[in-house]
């Protein structure tokens, strides 16, 4: 009886990223709350190397509201995870402290390795490939991009991260709307510079997770091979944000960074030499799996 009650209790996680802040709460693995707000913390980091005091206060208020919403759904075990903004900003500690005060729950700044591992766990939890198959999980975020390769049985065995994501690359080289071919080529060259010595092991399956992958999927489909990604890049180089909303239903807030995300995805797909399949699982799902496992073991 105790175990049935324990497993029925909702769990929740708030993910503070370079583009968005999201909350996800589940009960018995099923979502009961999902909200997001786009705050673009990575733009501050790229421009100033730190996050402005006003943006920190805004972020803390959003996380506090999400925490209250989760508790209203019955969530007692809530965690806040900060990804690249906490690692890359000179005042990342200030961001974490303000969020912890507002959320009244544990706050953890994830290393790139931890972020990759949770994304890998979440993707495989949803996609459920054969346990012994070598799988790559590609996660292009706003401030960084990660690739993890491993199996369901043993977890990720190879992890690499670059400090360049869709928000940072947009702020650096792709500010025009639409960006145009010349800017897109400059962005490709910047990503290639970041991928020197990037040599992943062979894998049989590759998944793409995160907002950039889901946005590119609306243009090119679920399977992102070389041809599909080149088609998407051709569209993105010459199509305004308003037209991306109208023609493909891409979220208006995402249109600004989707071209940069596609450039990074294309470069990583080329290195893996296998098409990427877009799946919905990711870091938040992986974190919830771990929270539930810790609770069951307690």
Give start-end residues of each CATH 3.30.420.40 domain in the chain. 2-110
pLDDT of residue 298: 63
Percent of the chain residues topping a pLDDT of 90:
88
At the fourth CATH level, the homologous superfamily of domain 2-110 is: ATPase, nucleotide binding domain (3.30.420.40)
Nearest C-alpha neighbor of 234 from the set 248, 249, 224, 219: 219
Tokens at 137, concatenated: 């999980």
Q: Per-residue pLDDT tens for 20-51?
A: 999 999 988 889 999 999 999 999 999 999 99
Contact status, residue 134 vs residue 154, Cβ threshold 8 Å:
no
What local confidence, expressed as pLDDT, does residue 3 receive?
A: 40
Q: Residue 100: pLDDT above 90?
A: yes
Give whole-number Cα distances, 285 to 2, 44, 88, 183, 190, in Å.
Answer: 24, 27, 23, 35, 31
pLDDT of 2 reads 30
Indicate the pTM of the whole model.
Answer: 0.92
CATH code: domain 113-278 is 3.30.420.150
Paired residues of 82 in beta bridges = 16, 109
- Write out the two tokens for 166: 């869709």
pLDDT, averaged across the chain:
93
Contact assessment for residue 214 and residue 262, using Cβ atoms and an 8 Å cutoff: no
Provide CATH 3.30.420.150 ranges for the chain. Answer: 113-278
């Amino acid at each position: 009886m105790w175990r049935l009650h324990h497993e029925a209790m909702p769990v929740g996680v708030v993910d503070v990223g370079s583009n968005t802040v999201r909350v996800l709460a589940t009960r018995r693995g099923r979502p009961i709350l999902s909200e997001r707000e786009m705050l673009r913390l990575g733009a501050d980091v790229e421009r100033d190397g730190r996050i402005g005091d006003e943006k920190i206060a805004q972020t803390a208020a959003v996380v506090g509201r999400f925490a209250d919403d989760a508790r209203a759904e019955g969530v007692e075990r809530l965690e806040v995870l900060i990804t690249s903004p906490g690692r890359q900003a000179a005042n990342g500690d200030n961001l974490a402290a303000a969020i912890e005060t507002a959320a009244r729950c544990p706050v953890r700044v994830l290393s790139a390795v931890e972020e990759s591992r949770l994304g890998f766990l979440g993707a495989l939890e949803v996609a459920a490939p054969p346990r012994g198959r070598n799988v790559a999980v590609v996660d292009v975020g706003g401030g960084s991009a990660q690739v993890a390769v491993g199996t369901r049985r043993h977890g990720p065995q190879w992890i690499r991260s670059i400090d360049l994501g869709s928000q940072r690359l947009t702020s650096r080289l792709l500010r025009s709307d639409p960006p145009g071919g010349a800017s897109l080529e400059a962005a490709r060259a910047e990503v290639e510079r970041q991928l020197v010595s990037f040599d992943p092991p062979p894998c049989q399956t590759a998944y793409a997770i995160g907002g950039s992958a889901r946005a590119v999927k609306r243009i090119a489909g679920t399977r992102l091979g070389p041809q599909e990604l080149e088609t998407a890049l051709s569209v993105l180089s010459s199509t305004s944000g308003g037209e991306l909303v109208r023609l493909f239903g891409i979220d208006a807030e995402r249109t600004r960074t989707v071209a940069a995300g596609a450039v990074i995805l294309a470069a990583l797909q080329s290195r893996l030499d296998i098409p990427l399949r877009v799946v919905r699982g990711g870091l938040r799902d992986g974190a919830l799996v771990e929270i539930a496992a810790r609770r069951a073991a307690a």
